Structure 1
Amino acid sequence: MLDDFMVRAALAGTGVALAAAPLGCFVVWRRMAYFGDATAHAAILGVALSLAFSMSVFVGAMVVALLMALTVNFLSGRGYAMDTLLGVMAHSALAFGLVAVSFLSGIRIDLMAYLFGDILAVSRVDLGVIWSGAAIVVALIGWRWSALLTTTLNEDLAYANGINPKREQLVLTLALAITVAVAIKVVGVLLIAAMLIIPAAAARPLSRTPEGMAVTAGLIGMTSVIVGLRAAFVFDTPAGPSIVCVAALSFVMSSILRTFRTTA
C-alpha cells in the first residue's frame, strides 16, 4: 500500500495535521502567530547546516527552530517590542538560511521543495519521522494540557496553582520546534505557520470547549490534506499550497457560519 505515492502523501499530511492541531490552538489562544512564523523561517537555516555537515534535515531543522524560539523567549521583555523582535528574527533567519544554501557547492538541493514543501516525494523513512514527531508532540501537549490551559488563561492563576508559566512556555517551544521539523517536508517553511493557525482558527467558532477545538482543528487539518491532495491531482496544482487553500476555505465557511449564528 505504501508504494503508492498518494497514499504516502496523505499519511504524511495527516501526521502533520495531528501534530499541528493542538499546538495551533495554543498559538491562536496566545496570539503567537508571528512566533510560529519566525520559528518556521529559521528552519531553512537548519536545512542548510544539515546538508553542509551531512546531518539529518529533521535534526538540523528542529535544533535551529528550537534555538530561534528560545532566543525570542530570552529577548522578549528586554526592551524590544515583540512584533519588532519577531519580524527581525524571522526575516533575518530566512535570509541567512538562503545565503547559506547558496554556499553549498556540490550539493544538489531543491530549494522550492523546502520553501513550499514536496509532500508527493515523501518516503517511508519520512513517514516514520513525521509520525514519530507527531506522536511526541501530541503526547507532550496531552501531558501538559491542564497546565498549559491554566497558564494561557492567567499567569497569576498558574502561579497560584504551583505552575511555572516559563516551563509551560518551554513545552510549547519544544513542541513547536518538533512540528516545524516534521512539517518542512510536507508544506515547507513558508506554509508551516498556515497549517498551525488556519485549522485552529477555523475550529474556534465550531467549538464550545478547548478540547473540542483541538479535536475539530485536527479534523479540519486532516480533511484539508485529503481534499487538497485530490484538488492538486485533478487541477495539477502544487500540493502544499493546495492543502493550505482548502484550509483557508474552511476558515471562510466557519466564519460565515459564526456570522449566521450571531445574527440569528
Structure 2
Amino acid sequence: MILDDFLMRAALAGLGVALAAAPLGSFVVWRRMAYFGDATAHAAILGVALALAFDTSIFAGALVMSLAMASAVSSLSGRGFAMDTLLGVMAHSALAFGLVGVSFLSGVRIDLMAYLFGDILAVSRGDLAVIWGGAAGVVALLVWRWQALLTATLSPDLAWSEGIDPRREQMVLTLALALVVAVAIKVVGVLLIAALLIVPAAAARPFSATPERMAMIATAIAAAAALGGLAASFQLDTPTGPTIVCVAALMFAVSSVGHGLFARHHA
C-alpha cells in the first residue's frame, strides 16, 4: 500500500494541515489575532498532559483545552485587561502548567519534543484520518460562514446592521482555531502552529486583490512550504516541523522583496 510509505503519510499530513491552517490564517492576519493563535496553541500542551493522564485521545485533549483557552480569552477580553497582556499571561501560563503536568506522568513514555516541535515523520494512518477529518471540518466551517465572517471582520457595526452577530462569528473562528491546533500538533508542534497560520497568509497578502484570492494563495504557499520543508528536512537531516516553517518564512521574504521591487518599478 502506498500509505505504508512514511514519507507519503508525512506529505499527506502536511497538505492536510496546510489546507486547514492557511484560509483560517487569513482571518488571523486580518483580525490581528496572532497572539490569540499562540495562546490557543500553547494551551494544547496542557491538553496533551491531561489526555495522557486520563489515557484518552491526544486529539481530544488538545481540542478541548484549545477551545477552553480560546473561549476564556474571548470572554475575558474587554474586562480591564490589555489584550496583549492577557494573551501573554494565559499563553505562557498554559504552556508552563502543561510542561509541569507532563513531568508528573512518571508511568508514561512521552517524547516532549514531538509535541513542542512536531513529529510529522511518525504520522500513522489513524493520525491522517484525524488530520484530514479536522481539515475538512475547518474548511466546511469557513465556507459556510465566509461572508458573515468577512462582514464581522470588516466592521462589527455593519455586521449588526445586516443581522450578523459578531460574537457568534468570533466563536466560529474560535472553534476553527481549536480544530487547527488539534490537527497540527503532530505536524509542527504547539510552538510552531501560530507560525503556520500567520506566515503563509502574510506572504499571500501583497498579491491578493480579494479576500478569497488571499486565502487561495495562502493555501498554495502553505502546501508548498509543507512539501518543500519535508523534502529539505529529508535531504539535510533537520527537524521537519521547524524546517517547514523556515521554508514558509523564506517564501514570505521572497514575497515581500518581490512585491517591493515590483511596486518600485511601477512607481
TM-score interval for Structure 1 and Structure 2 normalised by the shorter chain: over 0.9
- Looking at structure 1, the residues matched to 83 and 43 of structure 2 have their Cα atoms a distance apart, in angstroms, of 17
What amino acid is the match of 1:247?
Answer: A
> Which position in structure 2 is the counterpart of 1:206?
207
Q: Deviations over 1:84-124 (max 9, x none)?
A: 00000000000000000000011000000000000000000
Q: Report the Cα offset of residue 66 of structure 1.
A: 0.3
What amino acid is the match of 1:182?
Answer: V
What amino acid is the match of 2:126?
Answer: V
- Looking at structure 2, the residues matched to 254 and 151 of structure 1 have their Cα atoms a distance apart, in angstroms, of 28
Q: Report the Cα offset of residue 255 of structure 1.
A: 0.2
User: Is 2:225 aligned against 1:239?
Assistant: no
> Which position in structure 2 is the counterpart of 1:14?
15
Q: Report the Cα offset of residue 21 of structure 1.
A: 1.0
- Looking at structure 1, the residues matched to 26 and 215 of structure 2 have their Cα atoms a distance apart, in angstroms, of 6
> Which position in structure 1 is the counterpart of 2:85?
84
SS of 1:214's equivalent? Answer: helix
> Which position in structure 1 is the counterpart of 2:174?
173
- Looking at structure 1, the residues matched to 74 and 227 of structure 2 have their Cα atoms a distance apart, in angstroms, of 35
User: Is 2:52 aligned against 1:51?
Assistant: yes
SS of 1:144's equivalent? Answer: helix
Q: TM-score, normalized by length of structure 2?
A: 0.98
SS of 1:188's equivalent? Answer: coil
- Looking at structure 2, the residues matched to 28 and 201 of structure 1 have their Cα atoms a distance apart, in angstroms, of 7
> Which position in structure 1 is the counterpart of 2:107?
106
- Looking at structure 1, the residues matched to 39 and 259 of structure 2 have their Cα atoms a distance apart, in angstroms, of 30
What amino acid is the match of 1:171?
Answer: V
- How much identity, in percent, do the aligned residues show? 72
> Which position in structure 1 is the counterpart of 2:126?
125
What amino acid is the match of 2:233?
Answer: A
What amino acid is the match of 1:218?
Answer: T
> Which position in structure 1 is the counterpart of 2:150?
149
- Looking at structure 2, the residues matched to 67 and 196 of structure 1 have their Cα atoms a distance apart, in angstroms, of 19
SS of 2:56's equivalent? Answer: coil
What amino acid is the match of 1:238?
Answer: P
- Looking at structure 1, the residues matched to 17 and 73 of structure 2 have their Cα atoms a distance apart, in angstroms, of 24
Q: Deviations over 1:213-257 (max 9, x none)?
A: 000000000000111111001110000000000000000011011
- Looking at structure 2, the residues matched to 23 and 34 of structure 1 have their Cα atoms a distance apart, in angstroms, of 14
What amino acid is the match of 2:103?
Answer: S
What amino acid is the match of 2:39?
Answer: A
- Looking at structure 2, the residues matched to 59 and 169 of structure 1 have their Cα atoms a distance apart, in angstroms, of 22
SS of 1:138's equivalent? Answer: helix
SS of 2:4's equivalent? Answer: coil
Paired residue total: 264
Runs of 4+ in 1 over 4 A off after TM superposition: none
Q: Which runs of 5+ in 1 are unaligned?
A: none
> What value does the CA root-mean-square deviation take over the aligned residues?
0.5
Q: Report the Cα offset of residue 261 of structure 1.
A: 2.2
- Looking at structure 2, the residues matched to 171 and 18 of structure 1 have their Cα atoms a distance apart, in angstroms, of 17
What amino acid is the match of 1:38?
Answer: A
Q: TM-score, normalized by length of structure 1?
A: 0.99
> Which position in structure 1 is the counterpart of 2:223?
222
SS of 2:80's equivalent? Answer: coil
